[in-house]
Amino acid sequence: MTLFVIGKPVKHSLSPLIHNYWINKYELGLEYKKMEVEKELLPSLIENVRDRKITGLNITLPYKKDIISYIDEVSYSAKDIGAINTVFLRGNKVYGENTDGIGFTRALEKKTKFNFSNKSIYIIGAGGAAYGIISELIKKKVEKIYITNRTKQKTIQLVSFFKTRNKEINLEFVEWKNLTPNSDVDLIINTTSFGMKDNECLKIDINNLKDTLIFVDIIYNPKETELLKFFKKEGFVSMNGLSMLIEQASVSFELWFNISLNNKDIEEVKKICEASY
Ligand code: NAP
């Protein structure tokens, strides 16, 4: 039996390294592989999960939304996101879950003891990852979320998506032109893929920011984006996306194997990942 991360492209994925480490440690006798697939193959992969030929799937770009039409049940939280990254079997039903948001909040809580309640968060980007993170931030009862994205229409769509589900939420659209977070902001998160290439750097005006502000770039490759380097240099506590990646993987692992991973499992795999690139 095998597990796969499927997407296009997938060659950059660290998921096989992470899951195969835990699979070997817990002597599960399985293998986790990458599979670059065309969209047409998605229904047959889900059938393979139903027939127990595949133990589980992780879904990455660009299929996190498309895959939903082929599974039987979407978890309650993934319904609020409209995208899934984990597929697993319960009884004879194929389920989908999204573990990105919980991976993000767990990673930040562990690294900085950050308490999300009543905090103001400034989010850059309105792609799939932003949806997962915002859904989790709402559960954590943050005070306010500012959201900005290069393509204005996508920001408007995101705000309307969450406001139709929760009228109370304080989600404010911010123009992309000059990224100038207000002084009330406690946490800035870059959820865009801008920064993955050399020398790409968004310009953010940090003049208003409080000293205690935390910056997170959810990109993990490169290890430090130019933006992350900038915030570090300015003296702000900063974190890249590797811990989020490992935490979200640990939630998927638990869904497949009912094994709850401990901090030692997480730290061991983090060291291996860091040494690998
Ligand atoms: P996505 O749905 O394709 O969204 C991409 C986002 O990046 C959009 O907001 C897009 O803005 C923005 N963007 C792309 N190129 C840009 C540019 N040149 N200038 C400004 N904005 C740009 O992708 P996603 O799933 O949200 O993933 C986004 C990033 O997060 C990727 O780097 C991915 O590897 C990372 N990620 C990390 C983890 C983790 O566990 N650490 C988990 C999930 C994702 P437009 O709407 O204007 O195109």
Q: Which residues pair with 216 in a beta bridge?
A: 189, 239
Angle (CA) 150 180 111, round 5°? 90
Model confidence band, residue 33 (pLDDT cutoffs 50, 70, 90):
very high
Q: What is the pLDDT of residue 82?
A: 87
147 Cα to the center of ligand 1, angstroms: 14
15-30 mean pLDDT? 98
Give a three-class secondary structure readout of the chain: CEEEEEECCCCCCCHHHHHHHHHHHCCCCCEEEEEECCHHHHHHHHHHHHCCCEEEEEECCCCCCHHHHHCCEECHHHHCCCCCCEEEEECCEEEEECCHHHHHHHHHHHHHCCCCCCCEEEEECCCHHHHHHHHHHHHCCCCEEEEECCCHHHHHHHHHHHHHHCCCCCEEECCCCCECCCCCCCEEEECCCCCCCCCCCCCECCCCCCCCCEEEECCCCCCCCHHHHHHHHCCCEEECCHHHHHHHHHHHHHHHHCCCCCHHHHHHHHHHHHHHC
Model confidence band, residue 76 (pLDDT cutoffs 50, 70, 90):
confident
Q: b vs e for 186-203, b when ≥16 Cβ sit within 10 Å of the residue's Cβ?
A: bbbbbbbebbeeeeeebe
Q: What is the pTM of this model?
A: 0.96
Residue 210 tokens read as 């409080």
149 Cα to the center of ligand 1, angstroms: 10
Model confidence band, residue 77 (pLDDT cutoffs 50, 70, 90):
confident
Please answer whether residues 65 and 75 qualify as being in contact, where contact means their C-beta atoms are separated by less than 8 angstroms.
no
Alpha carbon distance 221, 206 (integer Å)? 24
Return phi, psi of residue 2, to 5°. Answer: -135, 155
Q: What is the pLDDT of residue 222?
A: 93
Model confidence band, residue 166 (pLDDT cutoffs 50, 70, 90):
confident
**For the CA of 247, the nearest atom of ligand 1:** 40
Q: What is the pLDDT of residues 37-48, one digit of tens each?
A: 999 999 999 999
Whether 96 shows a pLDDT value over 90: the answer reads yes
Residue having the nearest C-alpha atom to atom 34 of ligand 1: 219
**Cis bond upstream, residue 9 (ω within 30):** yes
Alpha carbon distance 14, 3 (integer Å)? 14
Residue having the nearest C-alpha atom to atom 40 of ligand 1: 245
| Helices 263-276 and 242-257, axial angle in degrees (round to 10) | 130
User: Mean pLDDT across the chain, nearest whole number?
Assistant: 96
The set of protein residues with a Cβ atom below 6 angstroms from ligand 1 is 61, 100, 103, 125-130, 149-151, 154, 191-194, 196, 218-220, 241, 244-245, 248
